[in-house]
């Protein structure tokens, strides 16, 4: 068997066998097939796609390239919620305590962010003294006590993905649906969870800019999950504007806490409630989303979810009093408003540009070696559909004297106004498999 024959076969649109895919990936991981041949294979996949059988074989090899993580020792229904990323996405901070209060557990690998703002780990680490579990035993103990099990990605989990992504990044093949699906799902399938909920973001602040692209990706990942006999649901959610109001690590932690107090931004609150209700449905505790919503709303209004977050913070070395006293979180003291340039309804917010402005302030990383400033960011005061008059505050910058004209111009270019009333979109656009 030769790599070139496999590449030519895929180039010509023929279906590869399980043995051919195994040969290609195993030998690439060992170093006996060079980057340039795998690059050619990736480009062939980009143009010709993959059949269901090929995608399953390809993903199986990805999973088997590294460690498989289980949570033996826990007695909870474990939920792995994954978002394809966006601006102001603090979902896990609010969702995990709700799931824990409902008697379920989170089984989730999280990373540090690259781009707009920090990842889930960065956001939690904006809490002074907070440290994630360093051993499996510590993690299991936390899951059993609070239902919240979050650990950092390890190079030992799906190492094939890292090798392949570095090639995809420089060969123009990042946007291939089968390659995106196998990259995401291999990491989900390498970690034991009783339910997988994929939150596929759609819009200007998401990787998938159009509903059609996002739905195709969601359907591919759903199909892949089912090929591995997993309990999976995909939600498509709107990312045509930042999620919630806050963009920036400490600011997002505060907004997540406010959501657990029932005072979060309406659309973000809605997302948390519906994701949690979906988990209850997948567990079998309820038959409909509506039944689940009633239970979740009670868990939040009673304060049980917030209490759970406090327990998790304390057990992780942080001060749970931050949930009542936000001055214990580091938030930049200099606040500068950005004012509307005309009268009208906000008709468009380029969420990716808002995220870029936050990154330029220091809330995110342009490169993996950049150091994040947890205290900076911005908070929206108007969203799509809001009516503003010229001179009204559209958002506030939180900074340390580093607010430049360039950053202001990025925000200015992100906003559009309309004289006509603008229709707001729902946060959840569609549910696949629910």
Catalytic residues, by residue number, are: 82, 161, 168, 183, 187
Which of helix, strand or coil describes residue 282?
Answer: helix
Q: Classify strands 393-399 and 377-380 as parallel, antiparallel or unpaired.
A: antiparallel
- How many CB atoms within 10 Å of residue 29? 18
Torsion of CA 83, 84, 87, 89, to 10 degrees: 10
Any idea what the Cα angle at residue 72 is, between residues 66 and 77, rounded to 5°? Answer: 105
Ramachandran bin of 172, using left for φ above 0, alpha for ψ from -120 to 50, beta for the remaining angles = left
- Helix 211-227 vs helix 177-189: crossing angle, to nearest 10: 40
Distance, in Å, from the CA atom of 144 to the CA atom of 147, rounded to the nearest integer, reads: 6
Q: DSSP per residue over 148-174, as a string? A: --EEE--TTSSHHHHHHHHHHHHHT-T
Q: Residue 392: CB partners within 8 Å, gap ≥ 6?
A: 339, 340, 381, 382
Q: DSSP per residue over 89-153, as a string? A: --HHHHHHHHHHHTT-EE-EEE----SSS--HHHHHTTSTT-----SHHHHHHHHHHHS--EEE-
Distance, in Å, from the CA atom of 164 to the CA atom of 179, rounded to the nearest integer, reads: 9
Which pair of tokens denotes residue 7?
A: 């590449």
């Amino acid at each position: 068997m030769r790599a070139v024959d496999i590449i030519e076969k895929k180039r010509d649109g023929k279906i590869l066998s399980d043995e051919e895919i195994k040969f290609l990936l195993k030998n690439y991981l060992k170093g006996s097939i060079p980057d340039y041949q795998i690059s050619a294979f990736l480009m062939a996949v980009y143009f010709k796609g993959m059949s269901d059988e090929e995608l399953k074989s390809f993903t199986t090899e990805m999973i088997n390239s590294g460690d498989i993580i289980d949570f033996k020792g826990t007695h909870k229904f474990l939920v792995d919620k994954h978002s394809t990323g966006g601006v102001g996405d603090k979902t896990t901070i609010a969702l995990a305590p709700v799931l824990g209060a409902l008697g379920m557990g989170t089984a989730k690998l999280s990373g540090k962010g690259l781009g707009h703002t920090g990842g889930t780990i960065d956001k939690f680490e904006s809490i002074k003294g907070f440290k994630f579990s360093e051993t499996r035993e510590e993690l299991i103990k936390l899951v059993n006590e609070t239902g919240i099990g979050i650990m950092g990605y390890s190079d030992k989990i799906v190492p094939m993905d890292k090798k392949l992504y570095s090639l995809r990044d420089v060969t123009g093949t990042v946007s291939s649906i089968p390659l995106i699906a196998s990259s995401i799902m291999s990491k989900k399938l390498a970690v034991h969870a009783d339910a997988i909920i994929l939150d596929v973001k759609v819009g200007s602040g998401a990787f998938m800019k159009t509903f059609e692209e996002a739905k195709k990706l969601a359907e591919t990942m759903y199909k892949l999950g089912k090929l591995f006999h997993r309990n999976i649901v995909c939600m498509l959610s709107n990312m045509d504007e930042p999620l919630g109001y806050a963009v920036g690590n400490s600011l997002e932690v505060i907004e997540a806490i406010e959501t657990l107090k029932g005072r979060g931004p309406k659309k973000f609150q809605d997302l948390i409630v519906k994701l949690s209700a979906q988990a209850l449905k997948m567990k079998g505790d309820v038959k409909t989303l509506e039944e689940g919503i009633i239970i979740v709303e009670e868990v939040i209004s009673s304060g049980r979810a917030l209490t759970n977050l406090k327990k998790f913070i304390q057990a992780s070395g942080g001060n749970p009093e931050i949930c009542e006293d936000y001055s214990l979180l580091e938030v930049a003291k200099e606040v500068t408003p950005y004012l509307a340039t005309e009268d009208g309804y906000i008709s468009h917010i380029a969420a990716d540009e808002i995220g870029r402005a936050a990154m330029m302030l220091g809330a995110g990383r342009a490169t993996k070696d950049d150091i994040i400033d947890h205290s900076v960011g911005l908070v929206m005061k108007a969203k799509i559909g809001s009516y503003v008059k010229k001179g009204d505050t559209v958002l506030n910058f939180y900074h340390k004297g580093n607010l430049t004209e360039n950053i202001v111009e990025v925000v200015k270019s992100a906003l559009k106004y309309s004289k006509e009333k603008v229709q707001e979109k729902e946060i959840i656009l569609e549910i696949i498999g629910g």
